[in-house]
Chains A and B, each alone.
Chain A
Amino acid sequence: MSSQKLHVDSYERGWMIFSAILLVAFAVAVSVAAFGMGIQVPAPEQRVDPRTVATDPNSPWSNPGLREVAPGKYDAYILARAIPLWEYLPKELTVPAGSSVSFYVTSPDVQHGFMIQNTNANFMVIPGQVSKLTVKFDKPGTYNFICTEYCGSGHAIMYGAIIVTP
């Protein structure tokens, strides 16, 4: 065995350098979107006890729904559950166009998903954790939110809607 240097063909060296530059460019692009445009992934928000989160009167998810926290700004507390039936509570939310809504979603039972169609709100719902992302709804219309993680035999019927009024 010798200790010769790594032999790299000149075409292949060019390809490797180009590959590295390309990957750096992608990394820069996602960083710009994340830190420049505020398109972020969920961060740890709060931890809860899934056994009591839906019933404890001090828990916002014992009375899920919309709260207007400032003009045009809302907090939406949503419970995703498989028991007794696969559903979101509440099933429907109505906000005026231009509203900014922060979704706080948790589960008292199994894992679920939460994806609002045609928005960047798409995250896991995990018992014991609270998932939060914010969406600004500029265009009026109906935005379905859909369960994206297998949660038992009723998974396919689990959805709700945000109605954005003009």
Chain B
Amino acid sequence: MAKKDKGDDDFRPTGTLAILAIFIITLIAIWTTIYMILVGRGGTL
């Protein structure tokens, strides 16, 4: 099975990296926002 098609070898998922970059930026932004709420509210001990 899995016969190679022409072009499979030079397929570079550049679009994938771009989408994931947007995702990661969003992830860091949202996560950090919530984290800063936590830190702003102070200690619990």
User: Which residues of A line the B interface, CB within 8 A?
Assistant: 9, 11-12, 15, 18, 22, 26, 29-30, 33, 37-41, 118-121, 133-136
Contact = CB atoms under 8 A, between A and B. Distances in A.
Contacts of A120: 38, 41-44
B42 to A, nearest CB: 6
Interface of B: 12-14, 16-17, 20, 24, 28, 31, 35, 38-39, 41-45
| Chain A residues touching B, majority SS | mixed
Contacts of B38: 33, 39, 120
A40 B24 contact: no
Contacts of B39: 33, 37, 39
Nearest to A119: B41
Nearest to A41: B44
A73 B43 CA distance: 15
